[in-house]
Amino acid sequence: MAKELAKASAEFEDIKKRVGPMLENMGRLDNNFWNATSGNWNRYYSGIDMLRERLAAINAASAADPAAAADAEVKTIVAGVDKAKADCLAISKEYWTTAMRVQAVAKEVQSLKTRVDGIVKERSGLLSRSKSLPALQSLSAHLNTFKHDLNATCMAGPHKPNHPLLA
């Protein structure tokens, strides 16, 4: 059973090593999207507020009105809003693509947990004196927690690319 424990532990370490950079990237992307001071979503909505204020100041109903279309400040604000929206969309696409990859890794974790649980069930019994059994049971618990952490990470993040505000 010690060989099985070593193999399962090595596989778990490999999974953590592969998913670590993905999780770091997701954290960075989430910060770049939502950060209150430097996030793109804040830039996008601040730009919309600035545009609304400027349109009110020049008595225009929309940026397409002739008075607004000729206004240099409106043009600058619209360009900034468009850029912020495009940045938000790019971040969102990358985040959710990475999240799909993390979900695939979560399936690998579940598969490994199922195998470990099978070994534990097969080897545990009234007469079992294996020193590896408690370590395998502990590994199973860690795999379960890790899988749930990965799933939770993939449930929140920036607006999805098909969100109406990014369309």
Tens-of-pLDDT digits for all 167 residues of the chain?
Answer: 688 899 999 999 999 999 999 999 999 999 999 999 889 999 999 999 999 999 999 999 999 999 999 999 999 999 999 999 999 999 999 999 999 999 999 999 999 999 999 988 887 775 567 788 889 999 999 999 999 999 999 999 999 999 888 87
Q: What pLDDT is attached to residue 126?
A: 54
Residues ≥6 apart with Cβ < 8 Å to 39: 31, 32, 33
Per-residue model confidence as pLDDT tens digits over 69-99: 999 999 999 999 999 999 999 999 999 999 9
- Domain regions of the chain by residue span: 2-153
pTM of the prediction?
A: 0.86
DSSP class per residue in 41-74? HHHHHHHHHHHHHHHHHTT-SSTTSHHHHT-HHH
**What CA–CA distance (Å, rounded) separates 164 from 160?**
9
Backbone angles phi, psi at 158, to 5 degrees: -65, 165
Tokens of 57: 């100041």
The four Cα atoms 31, 33, 38, 41 give a dihedral, to 10 degrees, of -150
What rounded mean pLDDT belongs to the chain? 93
Residue 88 and residue 33 in contact, taking contact as beta carbons nearer than 8 Å: yes
**What CA–CA distance (Å, rounded) separates 27 from 55?**
36
Tokens of 154: 């993939």
Question: Inter-axis angle of helices 133-153 and 72-123, to 10 degrees?
Answer: 160
H helices present in 60-161, as ranges: 66-69, 72-123, 133-153
